[in-house]
Amino acid sequence: MTETASSKSAGSHRLVIRNIGLLLSGGLEEPILDADTVLSVDGRIVSVGKEKDTDTGNATTIIDAHGTALSPGFIDSHVHPVAGDWTPRQNQLGWIDSYMHGGVTTMISAGEVHTPGRPKDVVGLKAMAICAQRSFHAFRPGGVKIHAGAPVIEHGMVEDDFRELAAAGVTMLGEVGLGGVKDGKTARQMVAWARKYGIQSTIHTGGPSIPGSSLIDKDIVLETDADVIGHINGGHTALPDDQITALCEKSSRALEIVHNGNERAALLTLRTAKELNQLSRVILGTDSPAGSGVQPLGILRMISMLASLGEVPAEVAICFATGNTAKIRNLDSGLIAPGRAANFVLLDKAQHSSGKDLLESIQLGDLPGIGMVIIDGVVSAQRSRNTPPATRVPEIVRA
């Protein structure tokens, strides 16, 4: 409950959110915190606690949560952005802003692979990645933070290419396997070079997602040893059950479950991770835009699906889409804790849900209603235009 003198200096933006009915931390260690008030200054959380212990003076913005739940903004670990808020996959505009109305405040690109005429020569793919990193850093539809600029490895790349990409600000590879490199030996070498320069990697897992992509089986995934086992439940075509359980058991890398995958395989992954006592490896993405469209509520739908059918508490399923992903992706968001980015979703059970409260409504498989989305301490949306209506919604009492 302490804060530095500098955070109280004149001109700083102080956001107080009070009357929080349920504080979802995003952290598996303690998914629910005994707190009702959050203070952020200039887009960073400063304190989380009881209102009587919080210095709420000089607030620039005050939000009365009216008893609703506060969660970290959701992180979509697997998207395929192209340019601005347009996707050529379904020729749709405004998709990222629409995801923000589904509670997504951060997105991770798994490669800008839908770019029309995508260059596959080494100079071209590097240039495209650097351009995507720059443009999405500077342009945030709906305020969403998009970590993009994820090159797809191709034959002919050498160690110096990865050094150069890292120096230019590239922090992750696109899905290994979507380019020409599909053998474990070459992929392993390139992933190791990437890792050496601080670039994280994800591998496509399972059958081909669209004509032109190909099968990546468990042996290739294990040999490549990328940081994230991308869509372990297939995208859409999943590996056989024994290969999925082998990936969970033989690798220690992140297990990414996606909306646009096989739901049965998603539940198998979750069950196996739970048996291994390794739920901290589970992260969620949509793998969209895709052949099945864009899914503004994709992350919420996965939280409800995993909680209702996968027998994990709703507050734990929320950690998969927040704190787990932040830790694995080295992000400064995803947790309600001092020092973290002030990215919040305020939600309540949807009107007429049979659940008695938010968590029970998710446990029963219903989607919650979102009443507000805040990114970097700034309100991006009030009542969501995409979720079912929340029973209670927060209110801005001082703007």
Distance CA 6, CA 94 (A): 38
Distance CA 48, CA 338 (A): 7
195 with 186: CB under 8 angstroms? no
Nearest-approach distance from CB 184 to Zn ion, in angstroms: 16
Of 175 and 227, nearer to Zn ion (C-beta) is: 175
Of 209 and 224, nearer to Zn ion (C-beta) is: 209
Of 141 and 235, nearer to Zn ion (C-beta) is: 235
Of 140 and 204, nearer to Zn ion (C-beta) is: 204
Report the Cα–Cα distance between both ends of the chain, in Å, rounded. Answer: 23
Nearest-approach distance from CB 331 to Zn ion, in angstroms: 21
Distance CA 153, CA 113 (A): 11
Residue of minimal Cβ distance to Zn ion: 204
Binders of Zn ion: how many residues, by CB under 5 A?
4
Distance CA 342, CA 339 (A): 9
Nearest-approach distance from CB 176 to Zn ion, in angstroms: 9
* 204 near Zn ion, judged by CB under 5 A: yes
- Find how far residue 82's CA is from the centre of its chain: 17
Of 13 and 118, nearer to Zn ion (C-beta) is: 118
Q: Which residue stretches of the chain are H helix?
A: 95-100, 122-138, 159-167, 184-196, 218-224, 241-250, 263-275, 298-309, 314-320, 323-328, 358-363
Pattern 257-296, Zn ion, x by CB under 5 A: ----------------------------------------
Query: Does a cis peptide bond (omega within 30 degrees of 0) precede residue 289?
Result: yes
> CB atoms < 10 A from the CB of 219, how many?
11
Binders in 205-234 for Zn ion, by CB under 5 A: 209
Q: Which stretch binds Zn ion (CB under 5 A): 120-128, 160-168, 200-208, 214-222?
A: 200-208
Of 97 and 175, nearer to Zn ion (C-beta) is: 175
Computed on alpha carbons and rounded to an integer, the radius of gyration of the chain in Å comes to 21
**Joined tokens for residue 183:** 């053998």
Of 149 and 261, nearer to Zn ion (C-beta) is: 261
Q: Which stretch binds Zn ion (CB under 5 A): 202-210, 256-264, 270-278, 326-334?
A: 202-210
**Joined tokens for residue 87:** 């996707």
**Which residues are CB-contacts of 57 (< 8 A; sequence separation ≥ 6)?**
none
DSSP designation for 212: T
Nearest-approach distance from CB 121 to Zn ion, in angstroms: 22
Of 9 and 214, nearer to Zn ion (C-beta) is: 214
Nearest-approach distance from CB 201 to Zn ion, in angstroms: 13
Nearest-approach distance from CB 175 to Zn ion, in angstroms: 5
Binders in 27-86 for Zn ion, by CB under 5 A: none
Burial of 57 from C-beta contacts in 10 A (0-12 / 13-18 / 19+)? exposed
> How long is the chain?
399
Question: Quick one: which of 179, 235, 261, 289 contacts Zn ion (CB under 5 A)?
Answer: 235
Q: Between 159-167 and 122-138, two packed helices, what is the crossing angle to 10 degrees? A: 20
SS (H, E, C) 99-127: HHCCCEEEEEECCCCCCCCCCCCHHHHHH
Of 27 and 184, nearer to Zn ion (C-beta) is: 184
Binders in 172-191 for Zn ion, by CB under 5 A: 175
Pattern 356-395, Zn ion, x by CB under 5 A: ----------------------------------------
Q: Which stretch binds Zn ion (CB under 5 A): 112-120, 150-158, 170-178, 272-280?
A: 170-178
Nearest-approach distance from CB 213 to Zn ion, in angstroms: 7
What residues make contact with Zn ion under the rule CB under 5 A?
A: 175, 204, 209, 235
